[in-house]
Amino acid sequence: MLRILKILFVLALLGFAGLTGYAYLGDMTPDRVEKSEPVELNVNR
């Protein structure tokens, strides 16, 4: 039973390290696109 817990702990540690590495080193920057739309305001005076 202790061997299974050790394996699960090591797998969780490796998963956490992989997720942290991907968060810091992965290219997650959004693509920037300039967008322009006219806005019509209905103001009743």
User: What pLDDT score does 45 carry?
Assistant: 66
The reported pLDDT for the residue numbered 24 is: 87
How do the domains of the chain map onto residue ranges?
Answer: 1-26
Cα–Cα distances in angstroms (integers) from residue 40 to residues 10, 14, 45, in the given order:
59, 54, 15
Burial pattern 6-41, b for ≥16 Cβ within 10 A else e, equals eeeeeeeeeeeeeeeeeeeeeeeeeeeeeeeeeeee
Q: What is the pLDDT of residue 7?
A: 97
Closest listed residue to residue 28, CA positions, set 17, 19, 15: 19
1-45 confidence digits (pLDDT tens): 999 999 999 999 999 999 999 888 877 788 899 999 999 888 876
pTM of the model: 0.55
